[in-house]
């Protein structure tokens, strides 16, 4: 059983990309890392790598689109700890990049199921464990392309990219997070985008076929900063690597 002195974090989509890097960095701080992965094999492989580097890591089978899977994740985490300090809702689906006129409700639903309903499902299921922690923090991994300020800026590539599902799902996630922050002031709810909005940079991962200019370490700076906020830290913020960004 994890004691209250040892900080604990659950990361969804922790098996690769930014989730895995956040897991590596927080594990290196001595935290207990619950590494969520919808695929057990990929999750075990990722967890074994972190354990070999000395991290305290527990692989948690977790598909954020399944109530049953999320309930199983709560049961497993409860076997190890009676409180959860930090939840990082990182798992994300890019969709197929379909423009509005060709988009189908089915595609939009699938992307929202992971990017919007997933964080709600996971957050609500873990609320009792979060509320048992002294300084609970929830980090929502959003995207710059969910910001009106970015998609209406002609200098940003997203303004020319007529995609519907992913961008609007991250906008929804931003509002969802703000509503949680207002409703539950004892828990910090903040949003991170992995890039640098002003410099139009994002992090190289499978999601963008490694076209990003930032490393995963740089990409996780905003996530790690929000995960490590002290008791006096803010809630309801949207930040990138360089600081707060416009909605
Ligand atoms: N890279 C960037 O610069 C950038 C910019 C803006 C926002 N983001 C956001 O950052 C987050 C991480 O993305 P990434 O760049 O690290 O991409 P990635 O390497 O493709 O990782 C995505 C992760 O999400 C997991 N996932 C997808 N659907 C899931 C589900 N239903 N249940 C559980 N896990 C699921 C994937 O698992 P599998 O391995 O099983 O597919 C994978 O672990 C996403 O929310 C993304 O939208 C990234």
* Nearest C-alpha neighbor of 92 from the set 239, 194, 227: 194
- Whole-number Å distance between alpha carbons of 13 and 193: 15
State whether residue 181 is helix, strand or coil. helix
Report the distance separating Cα 87 and Cα 33, nearest Å.
10
Q: Rounded to whole angstroms, how far apart are CA atoms 138 and 233?
A: 12
Helix (H, G, I), strand (E, B) or coil at 58: strand
In this prediction, residues 73-86 reach a mean pLDDT of 98
User: Which residue reads 């089978």 in tokens?
Assistant: 61
Q: Of the residues 23, 24, 61, 91, which should be mutated to test ligand 1's pocket, given the most ligand atoms within 8 Å of the CB?
A: 91
For residues 89 and 164, give the distance between their C-alpha atoms in angstroms, rounded to a whole number: 21
Residue nearest to atom 17 of ligand 1 (CA): 207
Burial of 68 (0-12, 13-18, 19+ CB in 10 A): exposed
pLDDT, position 1: 57
DSSP 201: B
Q: At what angle do helices 40-52 and 17-28 cross, to 10 degrees?
A: 30
Give nearest CA residue, ligand 1 atom 44: 92
220 lines ligand 1 (CB under 6 A): no
* SS3 label, residue 112: helix
Q: Which atom of ligand 1 is nearest to the CA of 13?
A: 43
Active-site annotation, residues: 166, 170
Cα(85) to centroid(ligand 1), Å = 22
Q: How far is the CA of 138 from the centre of ligand 1 (A)?
A: 17
- Ligand 1 neighbour 63 (Cβ under 6 A): yes
Residue 18 has pLDDT above 60, yes or no: yes
CATH class of 8-244: alpha beta
Residue 197 banded pLDDT, cuts 50, 70, 90:
very high
pLDDT score for 5:
73
Domain ranges of the chain: 8-244
**Confidence class for position 83, pLDDT limits 50, 70, 90:** very high
E runs forming strands in the chain: 8-11, 32-37, 56-61, 86-89, 137-141, 188-192, 238-240, 243-244
Nearest residue by C-alpha to atom 4 in ligand 1: 194
Looking at residues 139-157, what average pLDDT do you find? 97
Query: What's the average model confidence in pLDDT over 32-57?
Result: 98
Nearest atom (ligand 1) to Cα of 166: 47
Residue with tokens 């998609």: 151
Question: How much distance in Å is there from the Cα of 152 to the middle of ligand 1?
Answer: 25
Q: Indicate whether 22 pLDDT > 60.
A: yes
Q: What is the pTM of this model?
A: 0.98
pLDDT at site 10? 99
For ligand 1, atom 33, which residue shows the shortest CA distance?
63
């Amino acid at each position: 059983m994890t004691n209250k002195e040892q900080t604990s974090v659950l990361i969804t989509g922790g098996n690769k990309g930014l989730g895995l890097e956040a897991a590596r960095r927080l594990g290196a701080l001595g935290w207990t890392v619950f590494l969520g992965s919808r695929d057990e094999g990929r999750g075990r492989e990722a967890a074994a790598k972190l354990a070999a580097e000395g991290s305290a890591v527990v692989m948690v089978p977790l598909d954020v689109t399944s109530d049953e899977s999320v309930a199983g994740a709560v049961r497993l985490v409860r076997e190890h700890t009676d409180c959860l300090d930090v939840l990082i809702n990182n798992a994300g689906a890019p969709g197929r990049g379909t423009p509005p006129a060709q988009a189908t409700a089915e595609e939009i639903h699938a992307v929202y199921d992971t990017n919007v309903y997933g964080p709600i499902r996971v957050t609500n299921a873990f609320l009792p464990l979060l509320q048992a922690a002294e300084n609970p923090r929830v980090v929502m991994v959003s995207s710059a392309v969910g910001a009106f300020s970015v998609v209406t800026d002609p200098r940003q590539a997203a303004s020319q990219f007529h995609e519907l599902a992913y961008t609007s799902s991250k906008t929804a996630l931003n509002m969802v997070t703000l509503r949680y922050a207002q409703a539950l002031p004892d828990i910090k709810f903040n949003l991170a985008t992995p890039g640098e909005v002003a410099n139009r940079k994002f992090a190289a991962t499978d999601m963008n076929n490694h076209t990003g200019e930032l490393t995963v370490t740089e990409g996780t700076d905003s996530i790690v900063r929000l995960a490590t906020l002290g008791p006096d830290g803010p809630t309801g913020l949207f930040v990138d690597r360089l600081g707060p960004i416009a909605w």
